[in-house]
């Protein structure tokens, strides 16, 4: 059984750097600015023969009430309570601070197994900090350098006794040849700041897993959560809100925006959350176009529907804006819901599976060519230099998104308007609403002409 480990410490001691080192990739955002991490980030990693579920947490600070710092601390406390072991990280160069002592007292009261980790021990200048660490009463500190990857074997030795207390998981069944293991559907939730992305995910999960609040930009990095919905595996990814490029100035926001763009590129389904009261704004359309350009399936979630006073007019206005401004996603239907009350949220996951199915849809070549013949009979391509363009053959060359190749006598002469007309008919005929469709024009002969 995997050992659950929470990485805890005051701000800027290198928790996220250690998380990235153990994960083997730059998953968590890292910067010199303290307090960059706010939400819990989890990852399953392998340290030698140890299987670990590690959790990166926000810097532990003294805070009370319901302000942002207090909510961040509450998330950190949940991570520690759910963990088998706490990795208490200190900065060996800076030495022990009052915050470190407060955190050590908290861990002792919790009676949670603790491994004391002294980070930033590369080079010289850390010896006094190591000596002070013994005064915390948490045993001998494990000296590491998360940035340089030093001391990981010692960390392995410190965690090994706790892993031995856990029963081993039965070996996973090896799938038969030709079978694929049950891969979770990846759903990335995107949108402008403060439209309710984290609140929506918390509502779906039924727990306060993600940090939320009235402040815009609470979420800073992409948080991945594995979830089981009706026996089907899902991977929900919460992202930082995207503002217009011209308004992004702080280095932290640039890092957050880059992390969100990375999450969109590797998503299977993107759920674009918009504010029903504010309507579909220019930045919402820019994000939708970005999703389409990356070739991802899209679901449009209109949140805060409980605050709308004229639902029929509002829905019509949003639908018209989608039809006018997003022709590349024709057929995309707004899904109204309220993350606060839960109304309509039950329709979101089925809509994501429907979008995923359309994104993966493959149309047989004979069916496509019969469709092409009917289209040309009803509305043939325009004349070029007095001669009719010949559309010879059509086939689907890829999925995710559906990609088609159209072979014509003079592909460069086919008007863009007729190409869009053909794409829209494909959507209508083969049930591909709201999915980006690629159409490649090629010059060539029908490969089945000789066979006939």
DSSP-assigned states of every residue in 235-302: EEEE-PPPPPGGG--SHHHHHHHHHHHHHHHT-SEEEEEEETTT-S-HHHHHHHHHHHHTT-EEEEEE
The position carrying tokens 């950190």 is 76
Task: Name the average pLDDT for the chain.
Answer: 86
Q: Which residues of 226-262 are buried (b: 16+ CB within 10 A; e: fewer)?
A: ebebeeeebbbbbbbbbbeeeeeeeebbebbbebbee
Over residues 303-342, the pLDDT tens digits come to 999 999 999 999 999 999 999 999 999 999 999 999 999 9
Q: Using an 8 Å Cβ cutoff, are 233 and 259 in contact?
A: no
Neighbours of 57 (CB within 10 A): 29
| Residue 38 binned pLDDT confidence (cut-offs 50, 70, 90) | low
Of the pLDDT bands very low, low, confident and very high (cuts 50, 70, 90), residue 176 is: very low
Angle at 50 between CA 44 and CA 54, to 5 degrees: 35
Dist CA 439 CA 441 (whole Å): 7
Residue 383 binned pLDDT confidence (cut-offs 50, 70, 90): confident
Mean of pLDDT values over 393-421:
91
Pinpoint the residues of the chain covered by CATH 3.40.50.300.
Answer: 3-163, 185-359
Is 275 a residue whose pLDDT tops 60?
A: yes
Read off the pLDDT of each residue in 290-312 and give the average, rounded to a whole number: 96
The yes-or-no verdict on residue 348 having pLDDT over 90 is yes
Most confident of the ranges 91-95, 383-387, 443-447: 91-95
Mean per-residue pLDDT, 9-14: 89
pLDDT score, position 171: 46
Q: Is the pLDDT of residue 440 over 50?
A: yes
Residue 168 has a pLDDT of: 57
Q: What number of other Cβ atoms are within 10 A of residue 304's Cβ?
A: 21
Beta bridge partners of 236: 187, 225
Dihedral Cα 282, 283, 285, 289, nearest 10 deg: 140
200 or 111: which leads in pLDDT: 200
More confident residue, 276 or 122: 276
Report residue 174's pLDDT band, with 50, 70 and 90 as the boundaries: very low
Helix then strand count (H, E) for the chain reads 12, 17
185-359 to CATH, choices 3.30.460.10, 3.40.50.300, 3.40.50.150, 2.60.120.330: 3.40.50.300
Which regions of the chain carry the CATH code 3.30.300.20? Answer: 365-443
Percent of the chain topping pLDDT 70: 85
Q: Kindly state the average pLDDT of the residues 123-151.
A: 90
Angle subtended at Cα 167 by Cα 164 and Cα 170, rounded to the nearest 5 degrees: 130
**Residue 412 pLDDT exceeds 50:** yes
- 32-36, 105-109, 342-346: least confident range: 32-36
pLDDT score of 33 more than 70: no
Cβ neighbours, 10 Å, residue 131: 13
pTM of the model: 0.79
Q: How confident is the model at residue 27 (pLDDT cuts 50, 70, 90)?
A: low
- For residue 342, the model assigns a pLDDT of 96
How many whole angstroms separate alpha carbon 269 and alpha carbon 287? Answer: 14
Cα–Cα distance list, 434 to 185, 355, 375 (Å): 18, 8, 21
What whole-number distance in Å separates Cα of residue 27 and Cα of residue 68? Answer: 23
**3-163: CATH topology:** Rossmann fold (3.40.50)
| Whether residue 227 has pLDDT greater than 70 | yes
CATH superfamily of 365-443: K homology (KH) domain (3.30.300.20)
Strands 297-303 and 269-275 turn out to be: parallel
Q: Choose between 126 and 347: higher pLDDT.
A: 347
Local structure of 352: helix, strand or coil: helix
**Is a pLDDT exceeding 50 seen at residue 297?**
yes
Confidence check: pLDDT of 52 > 80? yes
């Amino acid at each position: 059984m995997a050992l659950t480990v929470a990485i805890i410490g005051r701000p800027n001691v290198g928790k996220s750097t250690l998380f990235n080192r153990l994960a083997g990739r730059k998953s968590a955002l890292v910067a010199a600015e303290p307090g960059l991490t706010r939400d819990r980030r989890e990852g399953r990693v392998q340290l030698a023969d140890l299987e670990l579920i590690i959790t990166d947490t926000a810097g532990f600070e003294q805070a009370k009430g319901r302000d942002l710092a207090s909510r961040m601390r509450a998330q950190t406390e949940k991570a520690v309570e759910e963990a088998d072991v706490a990795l208490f990280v200190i900065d060996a160069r800076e030495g022990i601070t009052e915050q470190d002592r407060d955190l050590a007292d908290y861990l002792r009261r919790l009676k949670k197994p603790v491994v004391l980790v002294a980070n930033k021990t590369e080079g010289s200048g850390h010896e006094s900090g190591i000596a002070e660490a013994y005064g915390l009463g948490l045993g001998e500190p494990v000296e590491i350098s998360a940035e340089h990857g030093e001391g990981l074997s010692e960390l392995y030795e410190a965690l090994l006794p706790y892993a031995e207390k856990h029963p081993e998981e039965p070996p996973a069944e090896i799938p038969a040849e030709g079978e694929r293991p049950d891969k979770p559907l990846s759903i990335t939730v995107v949108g402008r700041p403060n439209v309710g992305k984290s609140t929506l995910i918390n509502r779906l999960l039924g727990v306060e897993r993600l940090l939320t609040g009235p402040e815009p930009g609470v979420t800073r990095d992409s948080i991945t959560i594995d979830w089981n919905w009706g026996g089907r595996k899902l991977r929900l990814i919460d992202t930082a809100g995207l503002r217009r490029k011209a308004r992004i100035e702080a280095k932290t926001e640039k890092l957050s925006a880059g992390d969100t763009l990375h999450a969109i590129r590797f998503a299977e389904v993107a759920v674009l959350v918009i504010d029903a009261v504010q309507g579909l704004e220019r930045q919402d359309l820019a994000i939708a176009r970005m999703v389409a350009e990356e070739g991802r399936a899209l679901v449009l979630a209109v949140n805060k529907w409980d605050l709308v006073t004229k639902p029929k007019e509002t829905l019509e206005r949003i639908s018209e804006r989608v039809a006018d401004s997003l022709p590349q996603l024709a057929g995309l239907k707004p899904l109204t819901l309220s993350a606060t009350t839960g109304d309509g949220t039950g329709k979101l996951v089925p809509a994501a599976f429907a979008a995923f199915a359309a994104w993966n849809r493959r149309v047989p070549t004979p069916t496509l060519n019969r469709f092409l013949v009917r289209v040309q009979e009803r509305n043939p391509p325009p004349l070029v230099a007095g001669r009719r363009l010949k559309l010879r053959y059509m086939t689907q060359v890829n999925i995710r998104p559906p990609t088609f190749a159209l072979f014509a006598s003079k592909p460069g002469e086919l008007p863009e308007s007729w190409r869009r007309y053909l794409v829209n008919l494909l959507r209508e005929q083969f049930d591909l609403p709201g999915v980006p469709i690629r159409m490649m024009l090629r010059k060539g002969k029908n490969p089945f002409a000789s066979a006939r």
